[in-house]
Each structure stands twice: as structure tokens, then as C-alpha cells.
């Protein structure tokens, strides 16, 4: 029997960074019908019927094996709540720099890292040598970090901000949890296969502002990368996301569909499925002209301490596991709570 390779989180990050820097992103095509499949979850969510589950699982399976990105409608997150989340995102980013810097990410006097205000031209998330032309507000929640552990802007400045953001985050978390049986059936596993791994899931919510830039610029809103998540559930108010189409072998621009989310699989799910599901290359550009763009990605992961062992349907005698059993925290090379 072949030994499962050891996993080195630092080497993995170096590999992903080197790969992303080798991608040619100079030409982006308009998406064609089918480039980003559209999955309507309404019948399954409304009825719970096994036939409806089988139908959406079949669509998700094809999307995750062939494209890695898909759009969802009928998801149950209210349009009013989605609009409110975007409204609060815009209001946050209109605050003075001093007010935003008061909750700066990774400041020495705040005990939890990776949350708060991420300034313009940051070199994090993803880590790159040149600054990303965006600014963001980020919260996270997991088995040890709760909403009170996050940094929040002053209620005197934004009285409805925290209430709206928490409501939105919890609504999208419920959506992600309701999608787990679809992923399980898509992988030919029992509906509850992922339940134990997501008893206390880790999620990050990022409320991002992409300022307008001059045309012809070479800087990215978000540098080319693949997500490290199980899946990412993205709301965007305007087009700007570009993904690499494995079918067409070219970059395509993802459309913004009103009240729909774009979902993609990440490295966690790719490794959990022994590379059966795709982790898709993508990046974001800023709009040219005078209009800012806003997006709200929700990064969804298993409980940080849960050991993920290769999905049984994704390995066998002729296809041994490529990755060792590993938790999300171990895969990121972080200590719980960082």
C-alpha cells in the first residue's frame, strides 16, 4: 500500500502562490450559457423531496467536477436582507479612514487576528507581493470565536451595522448548512455525511469595496488565487469576478444575477474529495470609470479541529488518498483562535 503523502501548509501556500503568478490573465471573455451553471434550490428547500435532492445534487456534481463555479437561486436568503447587507457595506466604506483604522485588522491590542478593517492596497487574503486594490471589513466565527470577539464599528457611527451583518451572516450560514446534503449526495454519500464536520463550522464574511480605477491598469482588485474554503458563497452588486473555465480553457467574466449567489468550491473540498471536485482559479478587477463595486463573499469551512478523511467514494485501491487526514486549522498552519 502506498503511504499517504504528508501535508505541509507552508509548502502548499508557496505552491499556490507560484501557480497563481504563472497564470496569464490578460484576456477575459464574456461568459457563455452553461459556463457558470444555474441551480434553482427552491423545490428541494421547500419540499425536502428526495427526488428534488437528487436533481440538484446531480447538477451540483457536474458543476463541481467540470466548472467549480455555479449560481444559485431559490436559496432562501431574503432579498431585503441582501439589500440591507449591501447598504451597510457601502455605509461602512464611506466612513473616515480614522474611524475604519480604529478597528484595523491584526492590530497589537486586539486578541483575535484576521478580523476588522483591511485597508486599501493590502497584501493579504490572498497574500501577494503587490497590493490588492480593495478595502474590506471582515468578521469570523467558529468553535471558539463568537460574534462578540469580532471588531465592530462604533454604534454611534453605524447604528444598524452589527445587527444587519450578524443577521446576514447567520442567514448565509444556514444556507450553507442546508446545502451540505446536496454535496453529500453529489458525492454518492449519505445525506448526513458532512454533519459531524460542520457541528461548529468556521466562516468568514468579507464586505469588500473595489474603488474605480483607470482603464488599462495592471493591478487587481483581488489577485488571482484559489480559495482555501470548503465553499464560498458570493454576492456581488456588479460584474467584476473573472474565473478560469476548465471547459473552455480560458478566463470568463461572471455575470451578476439579481438576488442570486455565485458559489465555488475551494481547496478544502478539493482535498477532501481527493481532487475530484475542482478548486477554481479566479480574480477580481475593479470597475473603470466612476463607479465603485461591492461584493460580500462568505467563506464556509468545517469545524477547525475536525479531521477530514478522504470521502470514501473518492478513493479506493486504484485511487489512494492524496492527502492525509487533516483539520482545517492544520491545513492552514494556524493555531486555533488566530
Give the cell for residue 255. 455575470
Per-residue pLDDT reduced to its tens digit, 238-288: 888 999 988 888 999 888 899 999 999 999 999 999 999 999 888 887 655
Task: Check: CB of residue 71 under 8 Å from CB of residue 262.
Answer: yes
Cα–Cα dist 281/270, whole Å: 13
Alpha-carbon distance values, 159 to 99, 153, 163 (Å): 14, 9, 8
Q: DSSP per residue over 243-276, as a string? A: EEETTTTEEEEPP--TT-EEEEE-HHHHHHTTT-
Per-residue pLDDT reduced to its tens digit, 104-155: 999 999 999 999 999 987 766 555 566 678 999 999 999 999 999 999 999 9
Cα–Cα dist 10/138, whole Å: 23
Coil/strand/helix, residue 320: coil
Is the pLDDT reported for residue 335 higher than 60? Answer: no
Cα–Cα dist 173/37, whole Å: 22
Q: Which domains does the chain have, with CATH numbers?
A: 78-231+257-267+284-332 (2.60.120.330)
pTM: 0.91
Helix (H) or strand (E) holding 293: strand 293-301
Instruction: Quickly count: other Cβ atoms within 10 Å of residue 289's Cβ.
Output: 10
Instruction: Quickly count: other Cβ atoms within 10 Å of residue 34's Cβ.
Output: 12
Instruction: Quickly count: other Cβ atoms within 10 Å of residue 57's Cβ.
Output: 21
Q: Greater confidence, 49 or 12?
A: 49
Closest residue by Cα to residue 123 from 12, 209, 220: 220
Q: Greater confidence, 284 or 289?
A: 284
Q: Which residue has the cell 438576488?
A: 259
Q: Which residue has the cell 478544502?
A: 268
Per-residue pLDDT reduced to its tens digit, 259-270: 999 999 999 999
Q: DSSP per residue over 37-99, as a string? A: -EEE-HHHHHH--HHHHHHHHHHHHHHHHHTSEEEEES----HHHHHHHHHHHHHHHTS-HHH
Task: Check: CB of residue 67 under 8 Å from CB of residue 247.
Answer: yes
Amino acid at each position: 500500500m502506498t503511504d499517504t503523502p504528508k501535508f505541509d501548509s507552508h509548502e502548499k501556500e508557496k505552491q499556490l502562490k507560484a501557480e497563481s503568478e504563472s497564470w496569464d490573465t490578460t484576456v477575459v471573455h464574456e461568459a457563455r450559457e452553461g459556463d457558470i451553471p444555474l441551480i434553482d434550490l427552491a423545490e428541494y428547500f421547500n419540499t425536502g423531496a428526495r427526488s428534488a435532492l437528487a436533481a440538484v445534487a446531480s447538477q451540483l456534481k457536474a458543476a463541481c467536477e467540470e466548472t467549480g463555479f455555479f449560481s444559485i437561486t431559490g436559496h432562501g436568503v431574503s432579498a431585503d436582507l441582501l439589500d440591507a447587507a449591501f447598504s451597510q457595506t457601502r455605509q461602512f466604506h464611506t466612513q473616515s479612514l480614522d474611524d475604519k483604522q480604529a478597528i484595523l485588522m491584526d492590530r497589537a491590542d486586539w486578541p483575535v487576528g484576521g478580523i476588522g478593517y483591511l485597508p486599501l492596497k493590502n497584501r493579504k487574503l490572498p497574500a501577494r507581493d503587490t497590493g490588492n486594490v480593495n478595502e474590506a471589513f471582515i468578521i469570523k466565527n467558529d468553535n471558539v470565536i463568537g460574534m462578540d470577539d469580532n471588531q465592530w464599528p462604533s454604534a454611534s457611527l453605524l447604528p444598524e451595522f452589527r445587527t444587519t451583518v450578524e443577521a446576514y451572516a447567520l442567514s448565509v450560514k444556514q444556507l450553507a448548512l442546508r446545502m451540505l446534503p446536496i454535496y453529500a449526495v453529489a458525492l454518492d454519500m449519505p445525506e448526513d455525511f458532512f454533519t459531524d464536520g460542520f457541528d461548529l463550522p468556521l466562516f468568514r464574511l468579507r464586505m469588500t469595496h473595489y474603488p474605480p480605477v483607470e482603464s488599462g491598469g495592471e493591478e487587481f482588485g483581488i489577485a488571482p488565487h484559489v480559495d482555501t474554503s470548503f465553499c464560498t458563497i458570493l454576492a456581488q452588486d456588479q460584474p467584476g469576478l473573472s474565473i478560469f473555465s476548465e471547459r473552455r480553457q480560458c478566463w470568463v467574466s461572471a455575470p451578476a444575477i439579481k438576488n442570486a449567489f455565485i458559489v465555488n468550491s475551494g481547496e478544502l473540498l478539493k482535498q477532501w474529495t481527493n481532487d475530484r471536485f475542482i478548486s477554481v482559479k479566479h480574480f477580481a478587477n475593479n470597475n473603470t470609470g466612476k463607479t465603485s463595486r461591492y461584493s460580500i463573499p462568505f467563506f464556509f469551512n468545517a469545524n477547525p479541529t475536525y479531521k477530514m478523511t478522504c470521502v470514501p467514494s473518492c478513493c479506493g485501491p486504484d485511487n489512494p488518498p492524496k492527502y492525509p487526514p487533516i483539520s482545517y486549522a492544520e491545513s492552514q498552519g494556524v493555531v486555533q483562535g488566530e
